Structure 1
Amino acid sequence: MHSHRSFENPPALPHHLVAEVLERALRDHPAYFEAQLKAEWEAASVLVGTALNDDDAGFVEYWCVRVGTLAPSGSPLLGLAGLCLGHTARRFGRLGAEALALAGSLAARSEADPEDVDARAQDGYDDVRSFLGLW
């Protein structure tokens, strides 16, 4: 029997729910591995949905920067924040100085130590440079 997996982009959520989920993921580090995975998965889904579908560029950038700055080393949210900065650059055609610096920093950390930040940060930074004409 062959199963097919499908992927759907998560929707954008109301801003108060985005803030609640992401703040909880950044604040709480559950002692139980399964609880931590659930919190990270939920935060990842919310961040991606926001980056891909929310029309408030400032809100999207704020949360990408906040997650990319505050998530602990080794968290999958770091690479994802870098990737989402790439989505933000593609969708809105701009990033602020702090977001641009963070995208570069996360990519450099990923190159230096993939255990610290996963390779999605490098993909995101490639998108940032491409869509903002920084090559």
Structure 2
Amino acid sequence: MPQAVVIETLERALRDRAAEGEAADVLVGIALNCDDAEFIEHWCVQVGTRAVSGSPVLGLAGLCLGHTARRSSFGHLSDEALTLAKSLAARAEADPSDVDTRAVDGYDDIRDFLHLW
């Protein structure tokens, strides 16, 4: 999917919760298939910091950072992405109605694949 379409879709979802389903598909798609790690991280961070409490894309942003960490061609995440993933996981553990528990799964992947313990 062209990056311009990804950006448009994710920005729309951040303004209008009715577009979150499509945004979820796009976010997972780039996490699994895009070859630009900075682009993936940027949009996971944007979604993870700008989506409203209770939005399913919050937990998904954390999960997608985990998917990104699992990709052997990348092998790292930025400090900003690591901090966000940890924060989203903590929020999910404290209140799954705020951030769904997929964020915990994503942070577990990050710790496993980037050897952060």
Of the candidates 8, 23, 28, which is equivalent to residue 16 of structure 2?
28
Identify the structure with the greater helix proportion: 2
Identity, in percent, stands at: 73
1:67 alignment partner in structure 2: 47
Match of 1:52 among 11, 23, 32: 32
2:109 is aligned with what amino acid? D
Which residue in 1 is equivalent to 2:86?
104
Greater gyration radius: 1
Distance, in Å, in 2 between the alignment partners of 1:75 and 1:109 is 13
Q: 1:16-65 CA distances to partner (integer Å, 9 max, x unpaired)?
A: 00000000000224xxxxxx2xx111000000000000000100110011
Matching residue's letter, 1:88? T
* TM-score (norm: length of structure 2): 0.96
Q: C-alpha root-mean-square deviation of aligned residues, in Å?
A: 0.7
Letter in 2 for 1:104: K
**Unaligned ranges ≥5, structure 2:** none
Structure 1 distance, partners of 2:49, 2:27, is 14
Q: TM-score, normalised by structure 1?
A: 0.83
- Count of residue correspondences: 115
Name stretches of at least 5 consecutive residues in structure 1 with no aligned partner.
1-12, 30-35
